[in-house]
Amino acid sequence: MTLNADPNFWVPANKHLTRYGPSFEDVIIERAEGSFVYDADDRPILDFTSGQMSAVLGHTHPDVVKTVDLQMKSVAHLFSGMLSRPVVELASRLAALAPGLDRVQLLSTGGESNEAAIRMAKLVTGGHEIVAFAQSWHGMTGGAASATYSAGRRGYGPAAAGSFVIPAPNSYRPRFKHADGSLDWKSELDDAFELIDRQSTGNLAAFIAEPILSSGGILELPPGYLAALKKKCEERGMLLILDEAQTGVGRTGHMFAFQRDGVTPDILTLSKTLGAGLPLAAVMTTAEIEQKAHEKNYLFYTTHVSDPLPAAVGVTVLDVVARDNLVQQAITRGDRLKKGLQSLQQRFECVGDVRGRGLLLGLEVVTDRHSKKPGFELGAKIMDEAMKRGLSMNIVKYPGMGGVFRIAPPLTVSEAEIDQGLSIMSDSIKAVAH
């Protein structure tokens, strides 16, 4: 009899918890450490999602635990108009890591940071039209939800006025192609903005984008795309907002994913990885944009803005990432993981594509390699089989978006743990596909 079936847990859980998304896993998580979470039977489960792509240092990292303990003993929360040393230190550290983005506001969640960024862009530009990718996820609050197109749009009434969308470039399933069949993203982008120009009332404010669309199925913006997108924005007086909730703080092999392309956004939002699992987010922008926003009485005043406790954790995260050379480790461990996934692609016909970079990778399951028909149901079975064998992998669970595993272990993951995860994946695919 497994302790995970405890009726004293599941009866009140089923009776009192609101169901807010895909179904809950049928295990009770009692504790977590490093790359593993442990269920009620004390069974280790390798966490290849880093707790919703957030725990970049793994679970219960000793430095984070120490910081939380010390900061709780001094000050955890303040009146929003008061400042503390951790807040100023974290803002200074972030500004040093992203030259040009000198102004920082600290908030709680990714949705909240995107909400603030959109609000700032509208105020500064005087426009109200926001453009996003059709496969995007930016949050569940008003403006952020209006710029989220991957799921959750039906049944909630009108989105914000001026919500526009263009398709994200998809190298595996290109809409516009060169003669050799490869993605012609330049023509696709030109076509998309021609449609935006026809729809716009002349009030374009911003484009909000993820450098790698995660919930969209790990769709990476090709080299050169970000620079072309920034130019499109500049030509129209728009601001470029980059949402690096999942790509920031080293995960892709750069401190921030945009640095690969040498293109600095007008506004950068961070969350998830910055707090290493605690609710911490940041909105970063230029001194010029912040000044304009201030002159126009920018208001984004929340209960947990500039909280000392999560700010102190953020400082610790940056310390550990630098001390332990985790940005470089994301490259080396990511290379090992990607080669292992590509080996699975060579062995199993149902693995259609492997993509992404660093330790944010995607494996797409298909029912047929020739047609590239998404294998959502097959992927869901593989995911369930992997969980039984001790590996937690997150699959994009919306059928219209195919069966894409989002694979994002902590930056602290060991080579042995990567090999263990790959072995379980292999056994799970073999068990289900055959």
- Give the residue numbers annotated as catalytic, written as ranges: 137, 210, 243, 246, 272, 406
Rounded to whole angstroms, the Cα distance separating 422 from 158 reads: 44
Residue 349 to residues 44, 49, 344, 367, 394: CA-CA distances in angstroms? 30, 24, 9, 8, 20
Rounded to whole angstroms, the Cα distance separating 388 from 343 reads: 22
The per-residue DSSP string of 354-423 comes to: EEEETTEEEEEEEEETTTTEE-HHHHHHHHHHHHHTTEE-EE---GGG-EEEEE---TT--HHHHHHHHH
Instruction: Write b or e for each residue in 15-30: b if 16 or more Cβ atoms lie within 10 A of its Cβ, otherwise e.
Output: eeeeeeeeeeeebbee
Tell me the Ramachandran region of residue 52: left when phi exceeds 0, alpha when psi lies from -120 to 50, beta otherwise. Answer: left
Rounded to whole angstroms, the Cα distance separating 354 from 337 reads: 11
